[in-house]
Structure 1
């Protein structure tokens, strides 16, 4: 049903052929013609844009012998010797007069010398050129690339990006003098933010455990630490870090390299166009580190050393791959992210060979990538460790979109009507002070489903009142409504480098970030799948006796829904100061323009029946979300360890229920979830090393068919569900650890130790999977007859009111998602 793109298929079809950083000005030396007339060596000097003298710049020596035509063949030299920085890179044995063009991978420095010695007839000559190594620019299958696109190479300590145009597209690139200062003269512009490959060395200190730049690996400092790899090899903790751009994002490959300075340890080069690297301390296995956060694209992302130098993995001898294109805090386009991961892994294999296995590690958005790429791209990952996971991003918006609507009801509507049931804080601009603390905030969980607390500071109200109380809707999701939904709001910095009309031409929301998936209307807006038609908020709270039928009716009449993207207006305070384009869309921020709910972009105006309209999602967008693989449907045939610290009591957005939402999707999608382990720990006991160990054995078993065929058959005895306390003491393990959550049995030991909360849609009658964008509808009369309200008496007047609130009917969650594509 889903569109899986196999990495093996991608490579076999040669999709990478022709994919390059188009139009990048990457020549660093030449082209220079050298004639055989001169008997002495030809000598020249040239500089690269390296920021450090010790940086190794990766390049390509291109030698063209004579010319390609008949006349040129007669002008070819017999042989040549070329040295760069005193080392031979081309020798007579590499020469063949039949070859017009020779390419050799070379290592460069900040300042370089080149000497050329030629043998041949007087009129014979060669042309020498040296280019930077630049990674492939993409795309493969993700569609047209975004513009504007903010470059972060300088913020990543990689210097200016390379010029790729002279027409003014992108950011200006300046000429630099010998000291690295940038004169005012613009040498060109960069639209796609590409830079060149480079290698630097770092070591870990045994004093403070931090990594530091290492200029010369052959002379390690006194405080260098040592590490013992999973293969039992004890070495100096020296890391080789390669950085460049692939698919416009900055990637890194880190690997233990204590012997890079010693040529005898280097692998034998397979071809001239390859640089030799030491892999003695590499255990042959690759960790791909995926990262989290929330962002809406148009940004290259900054590569931080702490992201690239993943100590847990490097210390054991793993190679570590990372890309800013695989950080959801840069963009949340998982088609683009999957494409980037495929390209980075392809580069790794080309550079170092195929790893024994590839395991992804990532938290939050990084965990989502593990699930989604594991589903969409068979062969990319062999296993995944998903920390603080959700099933995917797009189905989170189903219940997260309810948060601000409900908080507005609790903060404003209910208190103004005299209903203080839901506690917390009441806002009334006609009173002084306008914000009042009105009691325990815990009843909000009845409706929102998510956790709440009377002992945690509300980010807006605590500074104003000094009173405690908040909810996960606030602590976890506050501010994400404007970021994800409002096309007139963005927190992407650096946009002042682009013309105003270019910036204002972008629709700054999540849906338009994925417009290659969702498409756009005639005005350039991507449709949104968000929908709450027929949703009966608080249904379970009504049945549990926590709220009255009057409160239930009032909430559902006045909750409203979000406006469509083209109807939205600039945000109010406190979001306006965070808006990078505020000055372009609405002038200076005004603290009096108070709207922490973004309610100005909701439909809350009541009709003649006293009912606010709901939001109808776009069915085409829902279909596209499924068909593009943005929805995790549960089909993933690799080992998964879903690990999280239990953070529900502190109102963290990474609530525990999500692990089981994913498990149920796997059960429904592939018939079982036997390849998924769920591990919980009290904060902050770290189980990463234990997870590595379990997966190492599991993957060995799969490869060697130790216990049979396939993933599930080869589970080792240690691959079980479990939970531990803060000291790592086992609280429960095995097949009954989580009983009572999905199977209806008596609660298991882990179920009791870590109670789950819910979501607004589960409270409204939805399933634990959380994958219903738009429910099928049933009439109110049918809902009463079908027992939707259990023992709650729905009299004639109540039925009439329900029919006014829900003229098209209420949700029938037993029928699944109306957003599923036909045939799924």
Structure 2
């Protein structure tokens, strides 16, 4: 349940019960009943309604208690159910509302409830504008009118917050063998294949002859009928899917037995920041969870491709869980799932707001977006540096073959080969661009040659004439990743620029490659002379990139840079596949696009996440890693099911522990026997033998972790230092290699303030402070949850 989150906790229910019992009951001696909002914190209600419980004092009849909101009687919404007086209070006004419970001979009590619009925001701060609402059918761009996406809903948005009327549809699972588990309700003009496992269901028609049945993990056998609810929350379009009997009612206080009370929250991949409303990118038609009675949930603003503001993403998860609780019933636990950007969102939500997700299953793992951006920027700078005349002249003068040149690049980059940086450059190298741009892409994986594409685009998805241009439209909407989270990071005072967390001042690129002899002294010096950086508009510059200290502090304090300490409060099964190159053939004989590889989901990232937990907690006991590499980075159906069932058991154990033990200890204590580290060797054709010897796993080229440009520059595996502290350049750090006097002078010119001192914490680095409220800017600590009080 949402109110069980540490950051939502108020007075323990057990303590209240003891107090009420001790006070006796009835008459004038009856204590004031406690009022609790079950669907969210009392000060974080949205959409005008809330699931509320009134604790009945001992000896008092529930029917004697009257409940009102600001003098409006809402007692009829309440009934005694399973010994608890609960009801959904509707009609809450935006802003503060007062719920009062009282009765004859009972001391009255009240609770202040703060309600926000269903379109948000609550804690994420002012919403970015403009924002293009989805339409029933997608509309093309016309002049300065932007295109819109198909919503999958029949109604139009009703207001500027893109609120669209909620709709429900029913689907059933067919018994037809060999059916395809795909999304059965794609946005027109796309249509679901005739072989789809889920098909439209009409409650008014006779039951289809091929209607399957399923037995939930609670032992309830039902027709396999799914209710899919679609609507809008926080300007995102959501889907909620769950087993449902259309002939029976369902309320938050009396859910159908088809639901086991568990939620699988799906987070979408990639990363981006379009100024548009989308449908979720994933499929709610997840048989392994739906068939067992799980509710499957997604929202486009928790898809990283459509939203890279991690505070907004986390807020959206919070609001979605509130909607579920007050419409379907209280949640037993919430399990996350998602790859790549979906892993970022799971890890970051668990860092920003621990307890929001009870357990997560990141695949293609990255700890967070800020430190991933660090590698992207390094790769962009490196691929450009390798094409500059000074570097090319060195390669030519030395008479290196292309293979030898690429080996040097791999040594500097820290990757398996040069293609990983090519992939970062091509896929996400332009994500920080605030206006229109012509993408520069590596067009030859062998030579690293760069081609500029002929068509300009922008990250907002808006007409070119509308968006920011430093000369012709300086006040137009800015479209970079940091711009999408300007409400979180704030602006540099007196400017239009969001505070920047990117930095490479003091970074000695290729340091370890030089020390080990992988590159020469001249190559090392030339590289660092020519690497440069990026401006606030993400334009390549001869100068290094400089972060804003205030922006750095916010990234750490808010948990946007994922905190190992915060992650210890969440059960984690990390499914790590291989995607370290786009040219090396997999054991199955495929490489590059033929194998679906992107070259960016590197094995070392899972170890980076684990290192943060080890540093913060002295262990990573809540983190389990399952490695596989034979077929790439996407887990097989068998591995995904194994993870799902193991996490289900883990979270079931966790929720059974109602003790006052700290959550970090409870998570470890609840870990089932199946939750242990293992790998499937790439030589294992059936991927069925679990190898638990890490050394053996690490000998497999498709399992062992490589590295990154920052680690080759001397940085830590945790890669949680956005901006390093500096120290004087010391030639002893290069032993057994040496620089000439001239080369040393050139290095000192590159690093006049010194080089990175990786033995020290990063600039402004600090522990995450827990959930912060950005509604007033700057990120203020969230006060304790409101509790009711006698009047």
Distance 1:5 1:171 in 2: 42
Alignment match, 2:578: 646
Distance 2:280 2:486 in 1: 26
**CA deviation map 1:538-557 (0-9, x unaligned):** 11111111111111111011
8 Å CA contact 1:446, 1:546 repeated in 2 = yes
Distance 1:232 1:135 in 2: 39
8 Å CA contact 1:135, 1:197 repeated in 2 = no
- Aligned mate of 1:818, from 749, 763, 769: 763
Alignment match, 2:416: 451
Residue 561 (1) aligns with residue 533 (2):
yes
- Aligned mate of 1:363, from 329, 339, 362: 339
Residue 728 (1) aligns with residue 709 (2):
no
8 Å CA contact 2:679, 2:690 repeated in 1 = yes
8 Å CA contact 2:622, 2:668 repeated in 1 = yes
- Structure 2 residues without counterparts, runs of 5 or longer: 11-36, 50-70, 78-88, 92-115, 181-195, 438-456, 583-597, 770-791
Alignment match, 1:673: 620
8 Å CA contact 2:238, 2:279 repeated in 1 = no
Alignment match, 2:550: 620
Structure 1 position 289, deviation (Å): 1.0
Distance 2:222 2:536 in 1: 59
Distance 1:15 1:705 in 2: 28
The structure-2 alpha-carbon separation of the partners of 1:403 and 1:171, relative to structure 1 and needing over 3 Å to count, comes to closer
Structure 1 position 151, deviation (Å): 1.5
Alignment match, 2:541: 603
8 Å CA contact 2:261, 2:294 repeated in 1 = yes
The structure-2 alpha-carbon separation of the partners of 1:419 and 1:268, relative to structure 1 and needing over 3 Å to count, comes to closer
Q: How does 1:644-793 map to 2 (within 5 A)?
A: 644-650=576-582, 652-682=599-629, 683=631, 684-686=635-637, 687-705=639-657, 710-725=666-681, 727-733=686-692, 737-738=693-694, 747-750=695-698, 752=700, 754-780=703-729, 783-784=730-731, 787-793=732-738
- Aligned mate of 1:495, from 441, 462, 465: 462
8 Å CA contact 2:274, 2:460 repeated in 1 = no
- Structure 1 residues without counterparts, runs of 5 or longer: 22-67, 70-89, 91-101, 105-133, 158-167, 174-179, 271-275, 426-436, 453-469, 569-600, 605-612, 739-746
8 Å CA contact 2:339, 2:363 repeated in 1 = yes
Task: Say which structure, 1 or 2, has more relative contact order (CA 8 Å, 6+ apart).
Answer: 2
Residue 342 (1) aligns with residue 287 (2):
no
Structure 1 position 346, deviation (Å): 0.8
SS across alignment from 2:327: helix
Distance 2:409 2:690 in 1: 31
Distance 1:251 1:423 in 2: 58
Alignment match, 2:301: 325
- Aligned mate of 2:286, from 310, 314, 331: 310
SS across alignment from 1:241: strand
Alignment match, 1:249: 236
Alignment match, 1:514: 485
8 Å CA contact 1:722, 1:730 repeated in 2 = no
8 Å CA contact 1:299, 1:331 repeated in 2 = no
Structure 1 position 526, deviation (Å): 0.6
- Aligned mate of 2:119, from 137, 148, 151: 137
8 Å CA contact 2:174, 2:212 repeated in 1 = yes
Alignment match, 1:631: 561
SS across alignment from 2:326: helix
**CA deviation map 1:733-791 (0-9, x unaligned):** 2xxx43xxxxxxxx3435646121111000000000111111111112xx23xx42131
Structure 1 position 678, deviation (Å): 0.8
**TM-score, normalised via structure 1 length:** 0.66
Residue 238 (1) aligns with residue 225 (2):
yes
Which piece of structure 1 moves more, 753-762 or 483-492? 483-492
**CA deviation map 1:688-729 (0-9, x unaligned):** 211122122222322334999611122222111111245232
8 Å CA contact 2:458, 2:464 repeated in 1 = no
SS across alignment from 2:600: coil
Residue 542 (1) aligns with residue 472 (2):
no
Distance 2:757 2:163 in 1: 51
8 Å CA contact 1:226, 1:235 repeated in 2 = yes
SS across alignment from 2:430: helix
The structure-2 alpha-carbon separation of the partners of 1:545 and 1:334, relative to structure 1 and needing over 3 Å to count, comes to same
- Aligned mate of 2:330, from 341, 354, 366: 354
Q: How does 1:180-195 map to 2 (within 5 A)?
A: 190-195=159-164
- Aligned mate of 2:277, from 300, 306, 314: 300
Alignment match, 2:423: 475
Structure 1 position 730, deviation (Å): 2.4
Distance 1:421 1:316 in 2: 66
SS across alignment from 2:624: strand
Alignment match, 1:58: none
Which piece of structure 1 moves more, 353-362 or 205-214? 205-214
Distance 1:336 1:422 in 2: 52
**CA deviation map 1:445-469 (0-9, x unaligned):** 11111232xxxxxxxxxxxxxxxxx
Distance 1:398 1:703 in 2: 37
Structure 1 position 326, deviation (Å): 0.4
Q: How does 1:113-192 map to 2 (within 5 A)?
A: 136-155=118-137, 190-192=159-161
Structure 1 position 559, deviation (Å): 0.9
8 Å CA contact 1:685, 1:727 repeated in 2 = no
Distance 2:680 2:512 in 1: 31
Distance 1:689 1:511 in 2: 36
Distance 1:473 1:283 in 2: 45
8 Å CA contact 1:423, 1:439 repeated in 2 = no
8 Å CA contact 1:288, 1:321 repeated in 2 = yes
Distance 2:474 2:6 in 1: 33
Q: How does 1:105-120 map to 2 (within 5 A)?
A: none
**CA deviation map 1:644-697 (0-9, x unaligned):** 222224452111101110111111123321000011123253312111221222
Structure 1 position 633, deviation (Å): 1.6
8 Å CA contact 2:578, 2:628 repeated in 1 = yes
Bigger strand fraction: 1
Which piece of structure 1 moves more, 351-360 or 204-213? 204-213
8 Å CA contact 1:171, 1:498 repeated in 2 = no
**TM-score, normalised via structure 2 length:** 0.69
Matched length: 600
SS across alignment from 1:552: helix
Structure 1 position 281, deviation (Å): 2.4
Structure 1 position 533, deviation (Å): 1.1
SS across alignment from 1:150: coil
- Aligned mate of 1:15, from 29, 43, 63: 43
The structure-2 alpha-carbon separation of the partners of 1:223 and 1:192, relative to structure 1 and needing over 3 Å to count, comes to same
Structure 1 position 267, deviation (Å): 5.0
Distance 1:559 1:679 in 2: 37
Distance 1:423 1:224 in 2: 70
Residue 529 (1) aligns with residue 501 (2):
yes
Alignment match, 2:174: 205
